[in-house]
Amino acid sequence: MIFYPNAKINLGLRIAGRRPDGYHDLETVFYPVGWCDILEIVPAPGRSYRVRFTVSGLPLPGRRRDNLVVRAVELLRQRYALPPLRIHLHKQIPAGAGLGGGSADAAITLQGVVALLQLPAGDDDLHRMALTLGSDVPFFLLNRPALATGRGEELTPLPLSLEGYHLLIVFPAIPLNTGRMFRETRPQKHPLPPRRAVALPPEQWKGKLVNDFEPTATTLAPAIGTIVDTLYRAGAVYASLSGSGSAVYGIFREAPPPLSWPEGYLIWSEEL
């Protein structure tokens, strides 16, 4: 079976404070977008391996056996008798971009293996397993606009639609480490919390919908600030860093004009 794990963008991000468990309380709005990886999962009966995981496309950091796809399979294997599996991931969502690509791959692996093998795992089971893999992994099981609070795992679906707007995402090929971003970021002043800001038309989001990570990201990678400025000059009604970065997105009322970007940048555009 072939699946298409999709990315998300963050509409605003407020760091409410550090928790006793070492995580941070957040408030953000996750919005799914069409930038996808391609994931193939097939049974491999008679093989000696538990899971054979191969990758093509964009480079992935770290060891293959530590990838969230493999960890998702092993999590299921702790609960169910799984046959050997062969999994191939064609990576198109860049790592370290704040787009949730790795989390999406993990969530869709859980769903995909359950569907392929007809395992008796319910939604609550999948949510619990997803949360052990990462705070935003459960979102990709829901995969609709949602307010995320707590560590990012407490999800409240929102009646939010950007249908008819145009989205342009720019990744400057400068991965940012999430741990470092949390260590070096200080909460910003929010005119409105994200849940209230997104209730306004996107034309009113500038100056009201704030991502606490953006000043830190711009300091570490000045190209991020340049991208935001370029998107606004090109007519974006709103532009922001996604999550902890370093991808930046712009929301346009009309299709954005052709723009020239430095070599090595990755670009995604779609009508929402």
Do 72 and 85 contact (CB within 8 A), yes or no?
A: no
Residue 204 vs residues 21, 238, 270, 271: alpha-carbon distances, Å: 36, 8, 21, 20
For 234, phi then psi, to 5°, come to: -80, -5
Token digits of residue 71? 């960890």
Q: For residues 209 and 162, is the Cβ–Cβ distance under 8 A?
A: no
Active site residues: 8, 136
